[in-house]
Chains A and B, each alone.
Chain A
Amino acid sequence: MSLESYSLLNCAILTPLVFAVVVCCLPAASAAAIRWLSILGSLLTGVLSVMIYTRFNPQNAGFQMERDVPWVAPLGLSWHVGVDGISVVMILLTGLVGFAATLVAWDVTKRQKEFYVLLMILISGAIGMFASLDIFFIYFFHELALIPTFLMIGIWGSGQREYAAMKMTLYLSAGALVALFGLIALYVGLPVGERTFDVVKLVAFAKGQPFSASFQHLVYPLLLFGLGALVSLVPLHTWAPIGYGSAPTATAMLHAGVLKKFGLYALLRIVLPALPSGAEDWNWLLLALLLGNIVYGGLVAMRQKNFNFLLGYSSVAHMGFAFLGIATFNDLGITGAVLFMFAHGLSTALAFALSGFFFAQTGTREIPELGGLCKRMPFIGTAIVMAAFASVGLPGFANFPGEVMVLFGAWQVKGWGIKAGAATLSWPVIVAIWGGAVLGAVYMLRAVRDVCFGVLPAKWQKLGDANLPAKFPYLVLLGALIWVGVYPRELTETIKPAAIAVVEAMEKTKAREPLPPKPKPKPTPAKRAAKPGKTPARPVAK
């Protein structure tokens, strides 16, 4: 047994922590050494995340690279790590964004040592929360990642940084606390001898003995709102714009790109497989709120004058799409949601990185003060245009296949149809396309016109473009976005078995009491006729 096969995940979690300790021991004056060591640390983590992704065998359903060490056996606590198709993609995202974020952190000029230590801890926490399969450690790593962001915003932020840090702390802690109640309820809801924090065991047990319908009905909202606050589900979203508006670049990238996906990930990993009946009961509410995200978030984004606030509201709007995919409860929608989470992580990190680049020189992100940046910063300007197009779902970027799959998946949900003449239209999809494709284009292209195009104000005549090393992080993110955008099957083949597993688990863990008819759609007869040799449930080999 070689190193890689069973402890690659442990390595990826520990590497940034080790580097954090090493950087901690360096004298604060040796800024170059601190920076290069941190870059090395994030590079190694990135390489490890790519290795985890490439070693992962998409043809095997279930968890891989598992490692299960009992820790507090009486409580059912264990150090259980492992990845399936969903978490492996999220770890890859963390590796890529973490590396890019460390590279763009050159704009941090004060107390660099502390900043990089916190950054390394943040990356470690993010990888840990996606690699863990024990609720205790999932929660622990999430907090480990969150606490550095508060400090980073409060100390290295700009604008109303203390207010922003405070607001974010209170909001996210409250959300996490509510979610914690829900998680503890799951634990307590199990019979005494079977109580465990292990996600795999918990879901497996629920498959045999589902939670009662009333229990699911009560506990699901706790988890939905608790986790929803972490994903900026309307109306629990107001922390996001102000938080990203004040955060230092690297923090905004990692938080908006990676940490924000945690709530969605936990929904898929723990909540849906354990509480499907609750999820179905409350889906009307989730649907209303996520459409609020898409439309209301988009409308508010139109009024923003600060570029980072605009990006913040745009990410609020985009989270609606990820929620929409999850709310379909079918493999197409869920696969699309995970792909969209990956794509959104990259594109939003790219956008924040670019806004950080010009902010370092102009000292402002107020859109009316900017303009014509393409003239002095052709590379950065072009990249902003590309990031904007990625964000509005232009084909060629990874966001497009994600959105398409989410929309097609949502179209299949039977309960959402309305009759129009002889045709059946899905109204949530209509609203979502309007909000995503039209409103999204309006505010994004307005911002691009006002920031990149037009006349360059006299005071910005001396701005400089990125040099080759500074371009590197942007190129990494853009390259990944375009690669997945052109060949999405690279990721969807990995995600698909895990998404199918979620859907299957949901089927089995439904409460056994009489419930309203399930909304799982049947494929159309034509599809069956068109693809006779295709097995519907299990994926075929790549």
Chain B
Amino acid sequence: MDDVTGLLWRILAGPLCAAVVIVLICRRSPFYADFSPVMERSAGAVIAIAFLLGSTWFAWMALDAVKTGNVTTSPTYRFIDVGDLEVNVNWSLDRLSVMMAMIVCVVSLCIFVYSVGYMHGDPGINRFFAKLSFFVFSMLGIVFSGNLVMMFVFWELVGVSSYLLIGYWYQRPAAAEAGKKAFIVNRIGDFGFLLGILLVWNVTGSVDFTDIRNYLKAHPAEVSGGVLTIPALLIFCGAVGKSAQLPLHVWLPDAMEGPTPVSALIHAATMVAAGVYMLCRVSFLVFASPAAMDVIAWIGGLTALLSAVIACQQNDIKRILAYSTLSQLGYMVMAVGLSVPQVNGYMPAMFHLSTHAFFKSLLFLSAGSVIIAFHHAEQDIWKMGGLWKKMPITTACFTVGLLALTGFPGLSGFFSKETILGLARERNEDLFTLATVTAGFTSFYMFRALFVAFLGQPRSEAAGKVKESPWVVLGPLVALAILSVIGGYTWMGIPGWLVGDKGLSEAPAGTNVLLLAMLAFVMGLALAVVFYLCGPAEDPVKTKFPFLHRILWNKFGFDEFYLALVKYVQGGLAALCELVDRWVIAGAGVRGTAGVAQTLGKMLQLFQTGGLQTYAFLFAAGLVIILYYVVTQ
């Protein structure tokens, strides 16, 4: 057995070091005055990419080590050890974690390179790369953490790096607001996650994944009969927050206020998928509770459908993709909920997670390339049009991503989505129908975006003047496009890798599932062709079905509902408490006590006039009263 702990903490240390080094040295300084312009403008990117390359290399070595088997890890140090709580900084090293780490590293590398082009000329570019590196560090931490508390630690750290990156342009009020919203909504999910951790610790006596798994195996009687339902659901709350499932999905579309590379890396490919990864990591817990799995599957399925429907009437190119991300995450969560541990485990969910990471970041980066062409000023697809002539490579890459997303045969998304649909067919007919309908909507809204933004004639002056982006932007696009095409094939080995050590099946779905999915795809495409291919100046759905448009445009009113909840319930409670604090506790209670003392003092003060005559008069009056009593007695 080889102990590869050193390899693991080196993978994590790379991006963290990059963040620290950038913060420390990439600035104007008298020590290296001649290099100051270089240090201020481009050093950050070089440092971040170099350290990330190192991490990717180590991750590859870890993958190799896992392939040969016979690896072990040891805790790096003890974090807490008091009473009955013992938390180590320890590691999970298995096929699941190394694959996720490779996805994170490869997608991050593409996006780091892309960012050099996208953020060109931004004054805060070093800050950007420092934050991005810190994000990669936290994300890899989630991937490799070996117990629930460490996972929670990194879980919070990716939350904070997401907050910082959404609010990267902090002077825009919308960006600052969106970052705050994302963090708080995630906190609501983490509230449940932490309770789940406490409950699991209470039941099994440990927070360590291996210990919990062994305990569950050793005490089947004590954990049967729904004991694990509530812990599993509470832990799932964390995934609901981070993977933006119903009803906590509202933060993700707003998170598009961040720079596009951030949207691609964090809010499409990696961080939002962390919820799914976490569910797979604790699958021994989730799979032990059928009731919890049902809830998970339904929440995933409903999220998939609802966000696909909303995406049909969004006009901002990044928001369309954001709702599409929500919808695909819904597929993955549904797949976790439908998993059959004996057949292929969590493979369908993780398979879709990996292909989605490639094609969704490809789509976002292509959208970013368009945004560069519009000088970061326009994201409305109805102001675009006719881009394919001026930007052929971007258009081609976007189309590849689109086809992969909609499950066009032969591309990666096709294989992973078919696996999920096949699973749904076997396990739950209702969810299968729901997922197939969602696939139809997916093809509708994606082709709508393609037809309106890229085909037809330019719809604005700016759209006529666009030009293709430089190669530093296009290179990562092409790399991701290749991955999006080949990612699903068996010889790439993702599904095989995931089921490998368990000897589970990796067979694709049956033919009738395929046919139904293709039917949905074609219907969505046909509808999009009818509505949008002729190049209308305005959305025909909006003019013909204004009511439907209004509902979808308002996203079923979730935001308004939550805003009202925050404003009236939480705000009302806060106002009430403040009133109590100001008038009852500080007012009546404290000032009242002080006031009584003061009033008494003031009354007595009236007698202290300082005038001799008054005192003489009072003295005489008192004497008369006393004499009167004495005499009358």
For A238, the closest partner residue in chain B by CB is B586
Question: In whole angstroms, what is the CA distance A455 to B172 when docked?
Answer: 7
Choose from A299, A332, A446 the contact partner of B84 (Cβ within 8 Å). A332
| Chain B 203-241 near chain A by CB (<8 Å), digits 1 or 0 | 111100001000100010000011101110000000000
Choose from A375, A404, A424, A445 the contact partner of B183 (Cβ within 8 Å). A445
What are the nearest 10 A-B pairs in CB distance? A332-B83, A526-B205, A453-B176, A527-B205, A395-B153, A453-B170, A303-B578, A238-B586, A299-B577, A423-B230
What is the total number of residues of chain A having a CB less than 8 Å from a CB of chain B? Answer: 71
| Chain A 385-403 near chain B by CB (<8 Å), digits 1 or 0 | 1000100001110001100
- B85 near A438: Cβ-Cβ < 8 Å: no
- A422 near B230: Cβ-Cβ < 8 Å: yes
- CB contacts (< 8 Å) of A385 on chain B: these are 164
Interface assignment of B573: CB less than 8 Å from any CB of chain A: yes
Query: Which B565-612 residues have C-beta < 8 A from chain A?
Result: 570-571, 573-575, 577-578, 581, 585-586, 589-590, 594
Interface assignment of A246: CB less than 8 Å from any CB of chain B: no
- A449 near B177: Cβ-Cβ < 8 Å: yes
Given contacts A394-B156, A401-B79, A407-B194, is CB(A454)–CB(B226) below 8 Å?
no
For A235, the closest partner residue in chain B by CB is B585
Query: Which A376-434 residues have C-beta < 8 A from chain B?
Result: 385, 389, 394-396, 400-401, 404-405, 407-409, 411-412, 420-426, 429-430, 433-434
For B175, the closest partner residue in chain A by CB is A453
- B85 near A405: Cβ-Cβ < 8 Å: yes
For A166, the closest partner residue in chain B by CB is B594
A-B contact count (CB 8 A): 178
| Chain B 470-498 near chain A by CB (<8 Å), digits 1 or 0 | 00000000000000000000000000000
- CB contacts (< 8 Å) of B79 on chain A: these are 401, 487-489
Given contacts A408-B201, A422-B229, A526-B206, is CB(A434)–CB(B171) below 8 Å?
no
- CB contacts (< 8 Å) of B149 on chain A: these are 404
Question: In whole angstroms, what is the CA distance A531 to B156 when docked?
Answer: 29
Choose from B154, B202, B590, B594 the contact partner of A524 (Cβ within 8 Å). B202
| Chain A 314-334 near chain B by CB (<8 Å), digits 1 or 0 | 000000000000000011100
Cβ distance A166 to chain B, nearest Cβ, rounded Å: 9
- A375 near B171: Cβ-Cβ < 8 Å: yes
Query: Which B113-156 residues have C-beta < 8 A from chain A?
Result: 149, 152-154, 156
Q: List 6 A-B contacts (CB under 8 A).
A: A405-B80, A423-B227, A433-B194, A437-B190, A445-B183, A487-B79
Interface assignment of A496: CB less than 8 Å from any CB of chain B: yes
Question: In whole angstroms, what is the CA distance A433 to B188 when docked?
Answer: 10
- A489 near B80: Cβ-Cβ < 8 Å: yes
- CB contacts (< 8 Å) of B175 on chain A: these are 453
Query: Which A501-534 residues have C-beta < 8 A from chain B?
Result: 523-527, 529-531
Query: Which B81-99 residues have C-beta < 8 A from chain A?
Result: 81-86
For B225, the closest partner residue in chain A by CB is A422
Choose from B85, B191, B577 the contact partner of A434 (Cβ within 8 Å). B191
- B594 near A170: Cβ-Cβ < 8 Å: yes
- A441 near B187: Cβ-Cβ < 8 Å: yes
Query: Which A459-502 residues have C-beta < 8 A from chain B?
Result: 487-489, 492, 496, 499
- A455 near B578: Cβ-Cβ < 8 Å: no
Q: Report which residue of B84, B85, B573, B586 has the largest number of chain A beta carbons within 10 angstroms of its beta carbon.
A: B84
Question: In whole angstroms, what is the CA distance A440 to B206 when docked?
Answer: 28
Cβ distance B84 to chain A, nearest Cβ, rounded Å: 5
Cβ distance A320 to chain B, nearest Cβ, rounded Å: 14
- CB contacts (< 8 Å) of A176 on chain B: these are none
Cβ distance B54 to chain A, nearest Cβ, rounded Å: 22
Question: In whole angstroms, what is the CA distance A11 to B80 when docked?
Answer: 33
- CB contacts (< 8 Å) of B173 on chain A: these are 453-455
Question: In whole angstroms, what is the CA distance A456 to B205 when docked?
Answer: 51
Interface assignment of A50: CB less than 8 Å from any CB of chain B: no
Choose from B80, B154, B160, B573 the contact partner of A488 (Cβ within 8 Å). B80
- CB contacts (< 8 Å) of B570 on chain A: these are 299, 302, 442
Interface assignment of B184: CB less than 8 Å from any CB of chain A: yes
- A394 near B160: Cβ-Cβ < 8 Å: yes
Cβ distance B500 to chain A, nearest Cβ, rounded Å: 30
- B180 near A456: Cβ-Cβ < 8 Å: no
For B167, the closest partner residue in chain A by CB is A453
What is the total number of residues of chain B having a CB less than 8 Å from a CB of chain A? Answer: 66
Interface assignment of B198: CB less than 8 Å from any CB of chain A: yes
For A499, the closest partner residue in chain B by CB is B82
17 new A-B contacts, CB < 8 A, other than A296-B581, A408-B84, A408-B201, are: A300-B577, A335-B82, A372-B171, A395-B153, A407-B198, A422-B229, A423-B203, A425-B199, A437-B187, A437-B190, A438-B184, A441-B187, A453-B176, A454-B176, A492-B81, A524-B204, A526-B204
Question: In whole angstroms, what is the CA distance A304 to B571 when docked?
Answer: 12
Interface assignment of B544: CB less than 8 Å from any CB of chain A: no
- CB contacts (< 8 Å) of B231 on chain A: these are 423
Choose from A303, A330, A405, A421 the contact partner of B229 (Cβ within 8 Å). A421
Question: In whole angstroms, what is the CA distance A487 to B81 when docked?
Answer: 11
For A423, the closest partner residue in chain B by CB is B230
For A441, the closest partner residue in chain B by CB is B187
Given contacts A303-B575, A330-B83, is CB(A429)–CB(B180) below 8 Å?
no
For A412, the closest partner residue in chain B by CB is B84
Given contacts A238-B581, A438-B187, is CB(A421)–CB(B226) below 8 Å?
yes
Cβ distance B584 to chain A, nearest Cβ, rounded Å: 9
Cβ distance A502 to chain B, nearest Cβ, rounded Å: 13
Interface assignment of A452: CB less than 8 Å from any CB of chain B: yes
- A433 near B191: Cβ-Cβ < 8 Å: yes
Interface assignment of B77: CB less than 8 Å from any CB of chain A: yes
- CB contacts (< 8 Å) of A235 on chain B: these are 585, 589
- A446 near B577: Cβ-Cβ < 8 Å: no
Choose from B78, B188, B571, B578 the contact partner of A438 (Cβ within 8 Å). B188
Cβ distance A405 to chain B, nearest Cβ, rounded Å: 6
Cβ distance A93 to chain B, nearest Cβ, rounded Å: 19
For B149, the closest partner residue in chain A by CB is A404
Question: In whole angstroms, what is the CA distance A526 to B152 when docked?
Answer: 22
Interface assignment of A120: CB less than 8 Å from any CB of chain B: no
Interface assignment of A374: CB less than 8 Å from any CB of chain B: yes
Q: Report which residue of B171, B187, B215 has the largest number of chain A beta carbons within 10 angstroms of its beta carbon.
A: B187
- B82 near A336: Cβ-Cβ < 8 Å: yes
- B156 near A395: Cβ-Cβ < 8 Å: yes
- CB contacts (< 8 Å) of A408 on chain B: these are 83-85, 198, 201
Choose from A335, A372, A449 the contact partner of B180 (Cβ within 8 Å). A449
Interface assignment of B509: CB less than 8 Å from any CB of chain A: no
Given contacts A429-B198, A452-B170, A524-B202, is CB(A389)–CB(B160) below 8 Å?
yes
Interface assignment of B516: CB less than 8 Å from any CB of chain A: no
For B156, the closest partner residue in chain A by CB is A395
Interface assignment of B195: CB less than 8 Å from any CB of chain A: yes
- CB contacts (< 8 Å) of B179 on chain A: these are 449
Interface assignment of B157: CB less than 8 Å from any CB of chain A: yes
- B171 near A395: Cβ-Cβ < 8 Å: no
- B574 near A303: Cβ-Cβ < 8 Å: yes
- B215 near A526: Cβ-Cβ < 8 Å: yes
- CB contacts (< 8 Å) of B219 on chain A: these are 526
- CB contacts (< 8 Å) of A411 on chain B: these are 198, 201-202
- B84 near A523: Cβ-Cβ < 8 Å: yes
Question: In whole angstroms, what is the CA distance A372 to B82 when docked?
Answer: 43
Query: Which A214-268 residues have C-beta < 8 A from chain B?
Result: 235, 237-238
For B291, the closest partner residue in chain A by CB is A421
Question: In whole angstroms, what is the CA distance A530 to B146 when docked?
Answer: 16
